[in-house]
Amino acid sequence: MMELNRETIPQYLRDRQGEISFFDTDVELLSDEIGDGNLNFVYRVTDKTNSERSLVLKQAPPYIKILGPDYPLPSERLTYESRSLEVYNQFASESVPTLYYFDSDAAVIVMEDLRGYRLLRDDLIIGKVNQSVPEQIGRFMGCVHSQTYTKNLDETLVNKYQKDFANTVMQSITADYVFTFPFTEHETNYYTEGLEGEVNQLKSDLQFLEQVDELKNIFLTVQRGLTHGDLHTGSIMVSDETAKVIDSEFAFYGPVGFDVGLFWANYVLSYFSHIDNIKVQSKIKTAIIQTWKTYTEQFKMDSALKSRTLQIIFHESVGFTGLEMLRRIIGAAHVKDIENIEDIHQKLCVETAVLEFGKILIKERHKITTVDEMVDLL
């Protein structure tokens, strides 16, 4: 596979002028690495004489970028990202970057540059809670989930989605890091000193472990709609008006509540990190409720089936919210919102509260029936 770099990217794009035709021929191009992620290379390519003209190029090497070639990971992950981007552009184009070009041999995606956008996570960290974001993301999830939902499609189309989105390698990574490793002795786990008691309590709570197992089983076997698979607040970019979803390399045909759960969990993590700021906390509660409101409005089905379907999705979402919260405290990948808390005593308090709430959501998910009830538990 041809691994691109800053120097070789301009020629790569010129060679494909016929297919991409974004820049005028013969313009001089500048490229810069902008990716701060772990898995892939992300570059911004700009027209040297017109800095307003730019695009983003993402390439997946056949290994994990930050760990290097000794840690293989199939580049096909970008095939799933490009396929999901196509479906998103079909059903919710306002909420994703435009896909300009996909090269499966080189595992390269060329897409719209969301210039001037920020990561949603960074906004939440500084206490900026814009209510139009959960509205837009609720609408995005509702549109995509509903339009790709088994019960809304004929069998041929269901089979096509199942086949196109059989992203088993990435799915099993999530299964390990979200559902398994955090609750076993695993070398990638780490957590703040002082949490041992809580963690051991979780690991020996049989009722809790049974629910984790049930949710893992749902995650691995239920196939209901196109699921982004990594929809945390670092996979959403925002401007003052618009929210856009990126980084769908984990996309699979699965239990759609996994997206709702990850999105909610990352708002809840932010909620606990703002322990001293009731105003921000109250806005986050509203945001969580707002997400479900627009989500359900977008879900198209006849009404009896719709309410049953949404009830199932809701209970699963609540469970997945809990799991995402826990693994962000005791697993391999933590979140900046909490990791940045400097006062170690404060951090421990926040993390203890997160563990407690996550555990409740997982154990009580069948009893929590509305989003207001869930938020009232905060």
Ligand X SMILES: Nc1ncnc2c1ncn2[C@@H]1O[C@H](COP(=O)(O)OP(=O)(O)OP(=O)(O)O)[C@@H](O)[C@H]1O
Least distance (Å) between residue 113 CB and ligand X:
5
> Which residues of the shown chain bind ligand X in the complex (CB under 6 A)?
34-40, 42, 56, 58, 97, 111-114, 119, 246-247, 249
From ligand X, Mg ion, none, which one binds at residue 123 (CB under 5 to 8 Å depending on kind)?
none
**DSSP for 221-259?**
H---EEE-S--STTSEEE-SS-EEE---TT-EEE-THHH
Residues in contact with Mg ion, counted by CB under 5 A, come to a total of 3
Closest residue to Mg ion: CB criterion: 247
Least distance (Å) between residue 102 CB and ligand X:
14
Cβ closest to ligand X, residue 111 vs residue 318: 111
Least distance (Å) between residue 269 CB and ligand X:
16
Torsion 264-270-272-275 (CA) sign: negative
Cβ closest to Mg ion, residue 247 vs residue 351: 247
- Contact, 240 vs 131, CB < 8 A? no
**Element of type H or E holding 159:** helix 155-164
Instruction: Report the alpha-carbon angle 304-309-310, nearest 5.
Output: 100
Least distance (Å) between residue 234 CB and Mg ion:
9
Least distance (Å) between residue 140 CB and ligand X:
15
Task: Give dist(CA 35, CA 64) in Å, integer.
Answer: 13
Residue 247 binds to Mg ion (criterion: CB under 5 A): yes
From Mg ion, ligand X, none, which one binds at residue 38 (CB under 5 to 8 Å depending on kind)?
ligand X
Task: Choose the stretch contacting Mg ion; rule: CB under 5 A; options: 101-109, 204-212, 246-254, 298-306.
Answer: 246-254
Task: Choose the stretch contacting Mg ion; rule: CB under 5 A; options: 219-227, 239-247, 303-311, 341-349.
Answer: 239-247
Task: Give dist(CA 134, CA 304) in Å, integer.
Answer: 26
Cβ closest to ligand X, residue 85 vs residue 323: 85
Strand partners, 72: 63
Cβ closest to Mg ion, residue 37 vs residue 194: 37
Task: Give dist(CA 323, CA 24) in Å, integer.
Answer: 48
- Contact, 140 vs 201, CB < 8 A? no
Helix, strand and coil content of the chain, in percent to the nearest 5, comes to: 55, 15, 30
Rounded to the nearest 10°, the torsion over CA 259, 270, 197, 213 is -10
From ligand X, Mg ion, none, which one binds at residue 202 (CB under 5 to 8 Å depending on kind)?
none
Tokens of 188: 């990638």
Task: Choose the stretch contacting Mg ion; rule: CB under 5 A; options: 55-63, 145-153, 249-257, 314-322.
Answer: 249-257
Tokens of 203: 């690991």
From ligand X, Mg ion, none, which one binds at residue 125 (CB under 5 to 8 Å depending on kind)?
none
Least distance (Å) between residue 75 CB and ligand X:
12
End-to-end CA distance of the chain: 49
CB atoms within 10 A of CB 325: 26
Least distance (Å) between residue 149 CB and Mg ion:
25
Closest residue to ligand X: CB criterion: 37
Residue 81 binds to Mg ion (criterion: CB under 5 A): no
Cβ closest to ligand X, residue 60 vs residue 338: 60
Question: Which parts of 11-40 interact with Mg ion (CB under 5 A)?
Answer: 39
Task: Give dist(CA 227, CA 248) in Å, integer.
Answer: 9
Least distance (Å) between residue 235 CB and ligand X:
6
Specify the residue for token string 């703040």: 192
Residues forming the site for Mg ion (CB under 5 A): 39, 247, 249
